[in-house]
Amino acid sequence: MTPGFSVVVLHYNAPVFLEGALDGIGRAVEGRNAEIIVADNASEDFDVEYFRRRFPAVKFIVYPENYGFARGNNLAVEAARGRRIFLLNPDVLVPENLFDRMNACLDGLTRPGLCSVRLIDGHGRFLPESKRRIPTLLGIAGRMLARKPDDFWSGAYYDRRLKPRAEGPSEVFVGALLGFERDVYLRLGGLDENFFMYGEDIDLSVRFLRAGRTNYYLGSMAAVHFKGESTPDDPVYRRHFARAAEIYMQKHHPLAYRITAPVVRPLLRHWSAGKSKRPAAGSSSTLPPAYVGNRPEVHKRLQAYFDTRVPVINPGALPEAPHLLLLDPASYGFGTLIDLVQQNTGTAHRFRWLTLDGLKFYGSDSATAKGEAVRLEE
C-alpha cells in the first residue's frame, strides 16, 4: 500500500537524539498510513544495524559521504513514496497529534505550500526562527548584529506580525520541521544543493511563495527542537552561514548584492571569524534528579546511575525546589510532557528525556547549550 505521507529524517552525529526523535515519530504515526525514512549523512559513529533492530519499521539509508542538508534530504524525498512529506531534524521531539494537525492544515489550504509549527528549546523557550520574514540585506545584517532574538536589530529578520502561539500565513520556516506536498517540492527542484548547510530552508520557503503557494504557521502546536546537536555554533557553522547568506543574496537579489558586495563580503567574513556562543555541554549532576514516570525498572536504573535516592513524581505535582526532571514519555506520552516543559519554562527546573527503551536520557538546557546524552546500565 502506498503511504499517505512520509516522514524523512536526515541524521548526522546525534544518535541518542535520533532515538528519541524516532520514539516520538513512531508514536505520532501509529495507526496511520505512513512511512519513516532515516538518511544518515556519513556520521562518524552510526550503528545502522542497531537502529534497524531497534526500529524495524523504519527504512534506513546510509550515504557514503556527507552530502550536506540539501542533497541529503533531496535524495531521501526522492526515495519516499508518500504524496506528502514531513522533513524533521534528528533532534526534534513531536507530540502524538502533530502529523494529524499538520495534515489537516495542508488539506485546508487552496494552494498548500510549507507548513510548520512553534518550535521550543529544551527548556520550553520559543525559538523565533520558527517564523521569519523574507530576507533582505537589512534582515541578514540584523541577524548577525542581534545579541538576542527580540532586540531592535532582528526586527527585519524574524516575523513578529504573528504571536508565537497564533496561526496564520507566514513567509519563511526553519528546515528542522517542514510539511509539504511531494510533487510540488520536486517540481520546484527541492532544496537548492548550492547550499551545503543553512539558507536552503529560507530559499525553499521563498520559492514556494513565488510559486503562488501559502506557507502556514501552526503556532498552537509545539515541538521541541534541541537545536545544534549535529551542527554546533562554531567557526565552521559561522562560515557556512555566511556563505549561505551570500548565495541567497546572489540568487534572489543579484543587483543589490553586486552594489553592496564590497561592504557585505568583509562584514560576513568578520562575523564568521567571531567566537562561538555555544558553551560546553550541560551536566545532569548540577541539580538533584527526580523521575517523572512510572516504570520501576527505569527508576532502578536512574538510582544506580545517580547513586542517590531519586524521587518518583507525577506531572501534576512537581517539587518547588529546582530539580533535574527525567521525563518518561513511555509513562505519560510526548504531548503531555512537552506541555509540562512549556508550563515550567520560567522555573529553575531542568529537563531530560528518557528513550522508550528506558536505557538512555538526553536533552539540553537552551538553544545555545550543547546537549547531553547518557546511556544507563541495563
CB 356 within 8 A of CB 321: no
What values do phi and psi take at 228, rounded to 5?
Answer: 85, 10
155 pLDDT above the threshold of 90: no
* pLDDT score for 63: 98
Alpha helices per DSSP H over the chain: 15-29, 48-54, 68-79, 98-107, 137-145, 182-187, 200-210, 235-252, 254-272, 296-306, 329-332, 334-343
Residue 152 has what pLDDT?
42
pLDDT band at 2 (very low <50, low <70, confident <90, very high): confident
d(CA 68, CA 61): 14
- State how far the Cα of 373 lies from the Cα of 352, in Å rounded to an integer: 9
Judge whether residue 154 has pLDDT over 50: no
Are 171 and 209 within 8 A, CB to CB?
yes
Q: Is the pLDDT of residue 215 over 80?
A: yes
What is the domain class of 5-229 according to CATH?
Answer: alpha beta
Average confidence (pLDDT) over 276-296: 75
Q: What pLDDT band is residue 195 in, cutting at 50, 70 and 90?
A: confident
Q: Which three cell numbers stand for residue 125?
A: 523557550
Question: Over the chain, what is the mean pLDDT?
Answer: 87
Structure confidence at residue 1 (pLDDT): 74
Cα 166–Cα 172–Cα 178 angle in degrees, nearest 5: 80
pLDDT higher at 236 or 223: 223
**128 three-class SS:** helix
Q: Which residue has the cell 550543547?
A: 370
Q: Out of 173-187, 223-237, 272-286, 358-372, pick the least confident.
A: 272-286
pLDDT at 253: 63
- Residue 268 burial by CB count (10 A; 0-12/13-18/19+): exposed, middle or buried? buried
pLDDT at 232 over 70: no
Q: What is the pLDDT of residue 101?
A: 98
pLDDT at 265 over 70: no
**How far is C-alpha 263 from the chain's CA centre?**
33
Query: How do residues 79-137 score in pLDDT, each as one tens digit?
Result: 999 999 999 999 999 999 999 999 999 999 999 999 999 999 999 999 999 999 887 65
